[in-house]
Structure 1
Amino acid sequence: MNKKVVFVLGIGRSGSTLLNYILGSHPDCFDLNEISKLPEIYQNRQRHLHFWEGPGKFWEEKFNPEEMKMLVAGLSNHRVNPYIPLKIERWVRETVGNDQILNPYSLIFSKLDKQVLIDSSKYVDWVSKKLQAKEFRSGQLDGYLIHLIRDGRAVLNSYLRWDKNMTVEDFSKRWSTLMKEDQKYFEQFPSERKMLVRYEELASEPEATIQKICKMLGIEFQTEMLEYWKYDHLGITGNFGTRSLIAKYKGQETESKVEKVHGNYYEKQGFTIKLDLRWKNELDSEKIDQFYSLTNSLNKSYEWD
């Protein structure tokens, strides 16, 4: 059976970290989370010391310095040689059989005893470029796609809570563009290797939702997966609110920004997966009307009431 890479597609604050952690809690899976951010974290080490003192230790233990440079180069989508266009270099390297640097997921698999990688980098541009690599085109790895969607009102509310400088207008333009891009890409993806998942169903019926995903991936569902906070998760970044339950379970101090942004929401939640519908109490009708007006009511397809 070929090894698999699951790409989670969707706009931020739609539950990708939750899905990533649950799937990553399966013994055959490893959650990379937002692996697309590793090059920036690697190249600006001093700005990301918190990462290198935590999950980063795992990456440095698994990959020697030369391998880490290779991994970062393969993930970056930038030229390997500054004087040669990436498209030409890819062709030359594939022709002479020296293209390992352009196949980052195979390199990661070589360091892990796992069958499935979960990549929650989310954006169409990232997913489409990664699937162009020889490791997928040759059939060595199988790429799967999960389009994770959420009621746009909830996403808007989450962004406004997180970024006080965000406006409804700015969000609406970005949300509308990304949702249309995601939908178009999802429709063109092979049907046997894709699934549409609602955040609201994942959070309210996690067992049934994850069972369907496991069936698609050919792995056996395990109830323990749902208690993601009991496991180590060594991927890149992710939603710190969702992540806070892991720290809490380990008896570690929760990041200060969790309480600053969310108050005691996660403290009150306890160790459980809970559907977040805070937008119903926090988002006023004026903002909702503006959102619908600016997006031509695109959210009608994603409403969850």
Structure 2
Amino acid sequence: MTSPRPPTPPRQGPIFIVGAPRSGTTMLQYRLRNHPRISLPTGESHFFIPLYRNQHRFGDLSRLESIRAVLQAMLAQSRNFLETDLFGLKFDVDRLAGELHAEGRHTMPAIISGVFERNARGEGKSRWGDKTPYYVMHIPKLIEWFPDAQIVHLIRDGRDVALSLFGRQHDFYVYNAYFAAEYWASYVEKGRALGAELPSAQYMEMRYEDLLATPEHTMRQLCDFLGETYSPELFAVASVDDPGKTPLVHAPLKADNAGKWRSRMSAAQVRAFESVAGDTLRELGYELTTAGTPPALAVKAAYRLHNRLLTGFWRRAKGILA
């Protein structure tokens, strides 16, 4: 008689939600942070890659002062995130440095995970994650530091992404559909190429449109990938007096939030977007409404110049107003 196989232990590696900006990663972040085991801060960390690039500057991380310097650099980079988006931890540099040093956390990933693990424990949870969209361009660095990490790449129709970028154009410096297409495609194509180098148990592509159309089925697939038990709590939402820049995260999912580009983008904008990103849209199964013919070199140059001029103007204007 064959003895029953022991249950598979739950995964403990970090979860990274990545993708092109304005692809619904915040929506997914807020849903997944409802899971009883998963801790996801509500903001974006942004400090992983700067620390990766500059780790040599901190010297010997077995020294208390070096750990303190790392925490200070994290604070200088992402003060708002560390002071307002961690709900299980007060980010006290001196106290944290002492505790991490005493625990023997003498590498950069050990220091970072020590912060996130503490935050998770403070929330009564056992697994941590992070949502910072641009990390999709740096997946190998995440895996180098956290070999047991899992990557969730959320993909949204680039034309809807363009509409969302236009709504915050002075934050992302995207001022026309041609440049929006280049911007979106660069993130999606790079993320997919890097993800293809990982085993299927470590990298998952997820459609924003699927999350809206079949939310329970899609989240069950995500939980299966993460090795977590599905929980109906994932779809709990709480209304707030000040929803901030992302009010949809505080409302139930709505299928009609997909495909808005069909009525809100002009024919010229759609043609410009599809002329750049048509192949990527097709590869992902999104229907094109034009031939997707690449524009002439002069047209490309005009779009890029337009975006560059407006970017320069608004950056100077921000500097004056700051």
The TM-score bracket by the shorter chain reads 0.5 to 0.7
More deviation in 12-21 or 108-117? 108-117
Instruction: Compute the displacement of 1:278 (Å).
Output: 2.1
Distance in 1, Cα, partners of 2:92 & 2:150: 29
3-state SS in 2 of match to 1:188: coil
3-state SS in 1 of match to 2:192: helix
Identical counterparts, % of pairs: 22
Distance in 1, Cα, partners of 2:73 & 2:277: 32
CA RMSD for the aligned pairs? 3.4
Q: Which position in structure 2 is the counterpart of 1:93?
A: none
3-state SS in 2 of match to 1:295: helix
Q: Which position in structure 1 is the counterpart of 2:283?
A: 301
Distance in 2, Cα, partners of 1:60 & 1:258: 24
Q: Structure 1 pair 158/287, CA: closer, same or farther in 2 (3 Å)?
A: same
Letter in 2 for 1:8: I
Match of 1:102 among 96, 109, 123: 109
- Structure 1 residue ranges without an equivalent (≥5): 75-96, 231-248, 260-265
Match of 1:286 among 240, 261, 268: 268
Instruction: Compute the displacement of 1:296 (Å).
Output: 4.9
Q: Which position in structure 2 is the counterpart of 1:118?
A: 129
Q: Which position in structure 2 is the counterpart of 1:151?
A: 157
Distance in 2, Cα, partners of 1:27 & 1:219: 10
Q: Deviations over 1:216-241 (max 9, x none)?
A: 222211112112x23xxxxxxxxxxx
Q: Which position in structure 2 is the counterpart of 1:80?
A: none
Q: Structure 1 pair 222/296, CA: closer, same or farther in 2 (3 Å)?
A: closer
Instruction: Compute the displacement of 1:162 (Å).
Output: 2.0
Q: Structure 1 pair 60/217, CA: closer, same or farther in 2 (3 Å)?
A: closer
Q: Which position in structure 1 is the counterpart of 2:242?
A: 253
| Larger Rg over CA atoms | 2
Instruction: Compute the displacement of 1:9 (Å).
Output: 2.5
Q: Which position in structure 2 is the counterpart of 1:92?
A: none
Distance in 2, Cα, partners of 1:282 & 1:288: 10
Q: Structure 1 pair 16/204, CA: closer, same or farther in 2 (3 Å)?
A: same
Letter in 1 for 2:136: V
* Count of residues paired in the alignment: 242
Work out whether 1:132 is the aligned partner of 2:121.
no
3-state SS in 1 of match to 2:35: coil
Is 1:149–1:198's contact at 8 Å kept on the other side of the alignment? yes
Match of 1:65 among 80, 93, 113: 93
Q: Structure 1 pair 216/292, CA: closer, same or farther in 2 (3 Å)?
A: same
Is 2:20–2:136's contact at 8 Å kept on the other side of the alignment? no
3-state SS in 2 of match to 1:197: strand
Q: Which position in structure 2 is the counterpart of 1:183?
A: 192
Distance in 1, Cα, partners of 2:157 & 2:137: 23
Q: Structure 1 pair 156/69, CA: closer, same or farther in 2 (3 Å)?
A: farther
- Structure 2 residue ranges without an equivalent (≥5): 1-8, 49-71, 288-322
Q: Structure 1 pair 196/124, CA: closer, same or farther in 2 (3 Å)?
A: closer
Work out whether 1:192 is the aligned partner of 2:201.
yes
Work out whether 1:272 is the aligned partner of 2:278.
no
Q: Equivalent residues in 2 for 1:22-61 (5 A)? A: 22-32=31-41, 33-36=43-46, 42-43=75-76, 48=80, 54-55=84-85, 58=87, 61=90
3-state SS in 2 of match to 1:131: helix
Q: Deviations over 1:26-48 (max 9, x none)?
A: 110111342225988832789x5
Q: Which position in structure 2 is the counterpart of 1:11?
A: 20
3-state SS in 1 of match to 2:39: strand
TM-score (norm. length: structure 2):
0.64
Instruction: Compute the displacement of 1:169 (Å).
Output: 2.7
Is 2:39–2:129's contact at 8 Å kept on the other side of the alignment? yes
Is 2:47–2:77's contact at 8 Å kept on the other side of the alignment? no
Distance in 2, Cα, partners of 1:281 & 1:175: 20
Letter in 1 for 2:17: V
Work out whether 1:172 is the aligned partner of 2:181.
yes
TM-score (norm. length: structure 1):
0.68
